[in-house]
Amino acid sequence: MEIRCPQTPQEWEAYYQVRYRELRQPWNQVPGSEKDHLEHLAVHRAAYLDGYTVGVGRLDSVDETTAQIRFMAVSKGFQGKGIGRAIMHHLEELAWKNGNKTIILHAREIALDFYAKEGYEYVQKSHLLFGEIQHFLMQKKKG
Ligand X SMILES: CC(C)(COP(=O)(O)OP(=O)(O)OC[C@H]1O[C@@H](n2cnc3c(N)ncnc32)[C@H](O)[C@@H]1OP(=O)(O)O)[C@@H](O)C(=O)NCCC(=O)NCCS
How far is Cα 51 from Cα 64, in angstroms, rounded to an integer? 35
Strand partners, 46: 4, 56
| Stretch in the footprint of ligand X (CB under 6 A) among 1-9, 30-38, 60-68, 104-112 | 104-112
Asked if 136 and 106 touch (Cβ cutoff 8 Å), the reply is yes
Q: Are 46 and 3 in contact (CB under 8 A)?
A: yes
Q: Which of 14, 83, 95, 104 binds ligand X (CB under 6 A)?
A: 83
Q: How far is the CB of 96 from ligand X (least distance, A)?
A: 19
Q: Verify binding: residue 72, ligand X, rule CB under 6 A.
A: yes
Q: Does 108 bind ligand X (CB under 6 A)?
A: yes
**Per CB under 6 A, which region of 27-35, 37-45, 80-88, 124-132 contacts ligand X?**
80-88
User: Dihedral sign, CA of 35, 36, 37, 38?
Assistant: negative
Asked if 22 is part of the footprint of ligand X (rule: CB under 6 A), the reply reads yes
Query: How many CA atoms lie less than 13 Å away from 126 in the CB half-sphere?
Result: 15
**Residues binding ligand X (CB under 6 A):** 22-23, 72-74, 79-85, 107-108, 110-111, 113-114, 117
